[in-house]
Each structure stands twice: as structure tokens, then as C-alpha cells.
Amino acid sequence: MSKVLIIIPAYNEERSIENVIREVKSANSNYDILVINDGSSDNTSKIAKTCGVKVIDLPFNLGIGGAVQTGFIYAKNEYYDIAVQLDGDGQHDSRFIKDLIVLIENQEADMVIGSRFKGNTNYKIPILRKIGMIFFSKFIKILTGLDIKDTTSGFRAVNRRVIEYFSERYPLDYPEVDVIVRLYKKGFKIKEIPVYMNARKYGRSSITPLKAIYYMVKVSFALFINYLRSEKLV
């Protein structure tokens, strides 16, 4: 059986983190859970610790990329075979973790993305997000030929080789779309499977229109640069 680490990046998620941890535990008690507290100013860290899981506290907010990468470095150091990334806000349904892992274990892919678009899922997507998703999906298709619908999904599983790569290189902010092109360029295999996603229960999405525009421009530029990069294939 492969050693699985569930990485949960959390920034001020005191209201949802306990539930998320409990659900992951009930999905499979063999998973090790690691919460990366990304400099939260609330009780996220305390609550996670009382749930009996490992918590790494970052001294200040590194951003989602820096937080998740901490998890990958840990996974590499502790010899995990598979790392699953799951948001701390309860959007991702942990019952689907096994579906992501199966594809990795069968070596059908190096990274598996849980998608809210493939097949029938019950998630209602905010319009702004939808526009962005379609845009990036097309962009990725043009750059790599890959058909990935939910490019910004933070619900993913990776194998040992990708863990090692991510622990070396991982973008600081808005990493989700970015790494798809990076992995593609490195010759890794990426797959997408349908999952259910819950609408976020607590807290609002941090995306405002101005931020959305910045997000689009920044990620597009990063994608373009990645495309130009000629890193040696592994």
C-alpha cells in the first residue's frame, strides 16, 4: 500500500477546518493529514491540532503556493508515495480522494486533477470564475494540447516524482494553472476526473473584479513564460 499524505493549506479557516479534517479521516483512516497553517490570524492552527493532525505553522502568510510547497517538501522528506492537495475551506469532497489516488497508483497519471466540470457535478460556478476557467482551459489547450476543464481546481493528487519536482519548484501565487504547463513541459502525465464540489460554506471567495483581472494577466503571462522555458525533460 502506498503512503499517502493529505496536504491541507489553510488561511483563516477556523470555521471549516475541523469538518474538513473529520471528513478526510472518515474517508480513510490510513491517510496522514498535514495542515499547513499559512500565517492565519485566527484559531485555525489550534483547532487543527486538537483534531490530532500534524500542523505546520508558517510564521506569516506565504500565499497558497508557498504553503502547499511546504507540504510537498515535507512529503519528500518523509518518503510519501502520493500527496493529495485539498482546500481547507471544505469545497473539496474527500470521498473522491480515493478516485484521484487510484489513477496515480495504477500509474495512469503523474498528477490527477479533481474537476467540477467533467460529467455531472452539482457545483454552481460563479460567473466570473466560469469566464476565467473557460479562458484558461482554452489557453492550456493551445499551449499543450491537453483537454483540462477545471484548470484552477486545487483538488489534486501527485506521485513521488511530482512531489520531488514540486518541492524544488513551485510558483508562489496562483500556482494551479501554472503547474499544469510546467508538468507538461517536463513530460509528466496529467489527468482530470470529475468530482463533486460543495459551494463554500464560510467566508467569501477572495476574488474581486480587479483581482480577477490581475489574476488573468499574471497567470496568462506565467503560462506564456512556462511555454518559452526549455527545461530538460526528465
Partner 1 sequence: MVTVYTISIIFTVILLLIIIELVKRNYLKEKYSLFWIFFGILLILFALFPQFTYRLSIALGIKYPPAVLFFLGLLFLIVYNLHLTVMLSQQLERLTRVIQEISILKEFYKEMKEKRRKE
Report if residue 56 touches partner 1, rule: CB under 8 A: yes
Interface residue with partner 1, options 29, 30, 77, 107 (CB under 8 A)? 77
Interface residue with partner 1, options 11, 31, 74, 117 (CB under 8 A)? 74
Report if residue 62 touches partner 1, rule: CB under 8 A: yes
Residue among 167, 188, 186 nearest 229 (CA)? 186
For residues 2 and 30, give the distance between their C-alpha atoms in angstroms, rounded to a whole number: 10
Report if residue 57 touches partner 1, rule: CB under 8 A: yes
For the beta carbon of residue 206, count every other beta carbon within 10 angstroms: 8
Report if residue 225 touches partner 1, rule: CB under 8 A: no
The CA distances from residue 122 to 45, 91, 116, 125, 144, in Å, are 31, 12, 8, 9, 28
- Over the window 5 to 44, marking each residue x when it contacts partner 1 by CB under 8 A and - when it does not, the resulting string is ----------------------------------------
For residues 90 and 96, give the distance between their C-alpha atoms in angstroms, rounded to a whole number: 13
> Could you tell me the smallest distance in angstroms from the CB atom of residue 115 to partner 1?
28
Q: Are 137 and 217 in contact (CB under 8 A)?
A: no
- In the complex, the residues that contact partner 1 under the rule CB under 8 A are 54-60, 62, 66, 69-70, 73-74, 77, 172
